[in-house]
Structure 1
């Protein structure tokens, strides 16, 4: 099903989110615009599901081009076409590993909720909410990774740093490299870019795509859907904090409870043994002093 290609994706309605009354959130989206990613993240949200399935089934990389066929029509997508279609920057760093270390260190403090630099092996609840959302956007719409989206990874944080610290990036090269991995047989890269590929296919001459589907409204970031993201993150953060508190409390009480239980058990056993012996002695005394009772209890 083509839905699997965008089940974890997000898209951005920049007109809506830039009109929000949340200064931190607006500032984050303005940084995305300044980075040159608006055309990619905010293009027309239409999906051609049947064409997508066929595109990925037949896709491969040949001579640096993404090549496939849909409805019998050969499709060839170059990095240049990819860049032009989404108005992506073509100058700057072409690899995330080239981002300066001091920029990453600086970004770790900028995005932090507590003020302490966030851990690159921690979870995104260390970050202010607008940067948790940016982490989601980078993971789901840019790097397109499967698995947990709560963990911070070096790759995700490098993407965040590029936006937050205004690092000049060759986004055309970076995104097209991800695109090529999507159609490479045996690659572990998750498949995505459903909206962007649909737009590219729609511009191929003489290609009939069939009926289109609207991208799910719940996955488009608007003023309305952002409230849902906020409530979910607030709830998850509260649950995690509560869980950590309970775990710490349990870990402190458990050793003391074990020691106390052992001591109590030992005393209780000794007392029970003493009582039993006393009872036996008493019954023996009664047996020998009163034959009628001895007959009843023997």
Structure 2
């Protein structure tokens, strides 16, 4: 089970990537830092397989907290503990679908030009739900990070959902987001019986478990290197996607 928790998620080596000689990539990851996600996406990349498995087997939500037992030791994680462990912001937007209509209108008047000039390679206006190939490479990568490490989406990653698209606009546009509340709500869904939310946050959960008094976690394992975004991995991602773009242009009917 622990392998499934990390099989699609991504970890970010911010120091490595922010040293890249790529303005677009550096700006995008810089926006993630400003947004408040560095501590969450870039936390220590180790996990404890047995402890994780037992955590989810016994996990549930009680009184607004995520609770579980591991080797008979009680674990209680509140929103405050969760947010504090990763220095997540506790102010700002929590649910993009609940933005008042007048604010949505104002935001669209700002975001639409932003999407036209920043997200699209062609300068053509992009719909707020689209195929990933319709947006610039750095935002394809941002979409993957949000899908795999925030929302823990399973399956195909080719489509950019309306929610994810607006969240990308909010991050790159400097809109304040209450990541503490947003991520903790997803975390609670992971341990809710019958929920369709995919499980994940493996290394983040292990950071939290290390602070539980008297809890023996056993031997740690390193997060798989192919799942860690470094300068080398991001460069490879860019090269592959640029090749795809060239092939699409070459095959486009004239």
Alignment match, 1:199: 207
- Return the alpha-carbon distance in structure 2 between the equivalents of residues 150 and 227 of structure 1: 20
TM-score, normalised relative to structure 2: 0.91
TM-score, normalised relative to structure 1: 0.78
| Closer, same or farther: CA 154–14 of 1 in aligned 2, 3 Å | same
Alignment match, 1:54: 54
Alignment match, 2:66: 66
- What is the alpha-carbon root mean square deviation over aligned residues? 1.7
Alignment match, 2:242: 234
Instruction: Give deviations 1:225-245, integer Å, cap 9, x for gaps.
Output: 1122123323444555566x4
Structure (1 or 2) with the greater helix fraction: 1
Alignment match, 1:36: 36
Alignment match, 1:180: 188
Deviation at 1:198, TM superposition (A): 0.8
Q: Which of 92, 98, 111 is residue 119 of structure 2 equivalent to?
A: 111
Equivalent residues, number: 246
Unaligned runs of 5+ in 1: 250-298
Please say if 1:18 is aligned against 2:25.
Answer: no
Is the contact made by 1:66 and 1:183 (CA closer than 8 Å) also made in structure 2? yes
Secondary structure at the aligned position of 2:160 is classed as coil
Is the contact made by 2:12 and 2:229 (CA closer than 8 Å) also made in structure 1? yes
Deviation at 1:127, TM superposition (A): 1.1
- Return the alpha-carbon distance in structure 1 between the equivalents of residues 137 and 167 of structure 2: 17
- Return the alpha-carbon distance in structure 2 between the equivalents of residues 240 and 3 of structure 1: 35
- Return the alpha-carbon distance in structure 1 between the equivalents of residues 6 and 16 of structure 2: 21
Is the contact made by 1:107 and 1:164 (CA closer than 8 Å) also made in structure 2? no
Secondary structure at the aligned position of 2:130 is classed as coil
Q: Which of 179, 185, 207 is residue 171 of structure 1 equivalent to?
A: 179
Deviation at 1:104, TM superposition (A): 4.1
Alignment match, 1:3: 3
- Return the alpha-carbon distance in structure 2 between the equivalents of residues 89 and 11 of structure 1: 19
Is the contact made by 1:75 and 1:204 (CA closer than 8 Å) also made in structure 2? yes
Is the contact made by 1:69 and 1:75 (CA closer than 8 Å) also made in structure 2? yes
| Closer, same or farther: CA 205–96 of 1 in aligned 2, 3 Å | same
